[in-house]
Structure 1
Amino acid sequence: MARTILHLVRHGEQARTADDGEDGGLSELGRRQADRLGQRLVGIPFAVIHHSPLPRSVQTADVIATYLPDVARHACEHAVDRTPIPSVEDRVQYPERFLPWLDGVPAQERDENAVALQAAVEHFATTDTHDRHELVVTHNFVIGWFVRHVLDAPTWRWIGLNQENCGLTIVQFDADRPPTLVSFNDIGHL
């Protein structure tokens, strides 16, 4: 029975920047968080490191990669920062108290009906003929969406599944059974 074990990591703490929407990369604390996580991941036989193209994720992946020097890494469209937003006709699936907040999500982060996030799940949930470990350095709502999917929770339930910076969530996809949540937001290394 082949399985894919997906290690989902939220990037380290972001440096504070002017309120211009720019991603300033990691703060000093964020670098320490990434360093501790890298130490923790030593010995796991990762096939690849996927990361969001935003500086805070790239820098987190760079720090982690110093502990995993033989593991290839790349920017991955499936790890991009996204917020699932219901379409007009699907707003009834979300509790009304969340709708005003969702209406304020910036255009560049909006993922209507989670089309891109579902594509990410389909991309990463594949199994092969042998076990495979993959590391994804991404963002809070992306991880929340994966957890919601694995638990088969209601569409809106990604809200409130908050991941700490450099927290580790592990999900397992098996060829012949439903996916499993192995751990959520593990921060024992921090």
Structure 2
Amino acid sequence: MGQTRLYLVRHGEQDPTAGHAPDGGLSPLGREQADRLGRRLRAVPFSAVHCSPLARAAQTADIVGGHLPRVPRHHCEFAADRTPVPSPRHRDLYPDRWLPWLDSVPDEERDEDAVTLRTAVEHFGVTGEEDRCELLITHNFVIGWFVRHALDAPAWRWIGLNQANCAITIVQWEPDRPATLVSFNDTGHLQPGGPAAIRR
């Protein structure tokens, strides 16, 4: 039986003039981050690239895809920007100090009891006969949820797991074993003299 390895990447830096607008694209730094990411990943045998439909993630995927010309990529609703929030009956699972902030999450970003994110984990975290390696270009809280899952941490523990723009987190699944966190928030390719710079 094969293993599944999922690379999770937060999009590049968004153009600061766009605020938090869903159609806000990448800043010049964000485009440079995405290019460095693509060079770092170009030797990884990905079978697919899944990306959030929001502009900052889609643009990141386009730049990374330039370094992965044979790998199919598409917009994926499982990669969309979501914030797990507790339903009224599960509010006691979250520390009281976080509840006012969670109550303020816009309706379009709310994922009550992480129903969609749990489905995303089930969708990607399957193994088959062959090894599989896929790339998910997404958002901070989505990656935090996958990390929380891999660590079997409490439902609220995705809070505070902050991903750098275009950093790499890897979660792996093997048959009959729980998920494993292989790496978290790897930014080596974004640093001067890092792996991406060496391979210029």
Return the TM-score normalized by structure 2. 0.93
* Aligned twin of 1:176: 176
* Aligned twin of 1:149: 149
User: 1:57-79 CA deviation, whole Å, 9 max, x = no partner?
Assistant: 00000000010000000000110
* Aligned twin of 1:95: 95
Q: Which amino acid aligns with 1:74?
A: H
- Give distance in 1, aligned partners of 2:137 and 2:84: 18
Which residues of structure 2 form unaligned runs of 5+? 191-200
Q: 68-77 or 17-26: which moved more?
A: 17-26
Give runs of aligned pairs for residues 95-134 of structure 1, distance below 5 A: 95-134=95-134
How far 1:18 moved relative to its partner?
Answer: 4.9
* Aligned twin of 1:57: 57
Matched positions, count = 190
SS in 2 for 1:7: strand
SS in 2 for 1:183: strand
How far 1:17 moved relative to its partner?
Answer: 3.1
* Aligned twin of 1:43: 43
* Aligned twin of 1:83: 83
Comparing both structures, which one devotes a greater share of its residues to strand? 1
Q: 17-26 or 100-109: which moved more?
A: 17-26
The 3 A distance-change label for structure 1 pair 24 and 172 is: same
User: 1:1-53 CA deviation, whole Å, 9 max, x = no partner?
Assistant: 31100000000000123557343110000000000000000111000000000
Identity %: 65
- Give distance in 2, aligned partners of 1:88 and 1:103: 11
How far 1:178 moved relative to its partner?
Answer: 1.1
Conserved? CA contact 1:17–1:23, under 8 Å: no
* Aligned twin of 1:25: 25
The 3 A distance-change label for structure 1 pair 164 and 20 is: closer
SS in 1 for 2:8: strand
User: 1:102-134 CA deviation, whole Å, 9 max, x = no partner?
Assistant: 011111100000000001000000111110100
- Give distance in 2, aligned partners of 1:48 and 1:159: 28
- Give distance in 1, aligned partners of 2:101 and 2:126: 33
How well do the aligned residues superpose, as a CA RMSD in angstroms? Answer: 1.0
The 3 A distance-change label for structure 1 pair 26 and 2 is: same
* Aligned twin of 2:14: 14
- Give distance in 2, aligned partners of 1:65 and 1:19: 26
* Aligned twin of 2:67: 67
Conserved? CA contact 2:22–2:54, under 8 Å: no
Q: Which amino acid aligns with 1:3?
A: Q
Q: Which amino acid aligns with 2:80?
A: V
The 3 A distance-change label for structure 1 pair 134 and 23 is: same
Which residues of structure 1 form unaligned runs of 5+? none
Return the TM-score normalized by structure 1. 0.97
Q: Which amino acid aligns with 1:109?
A: E
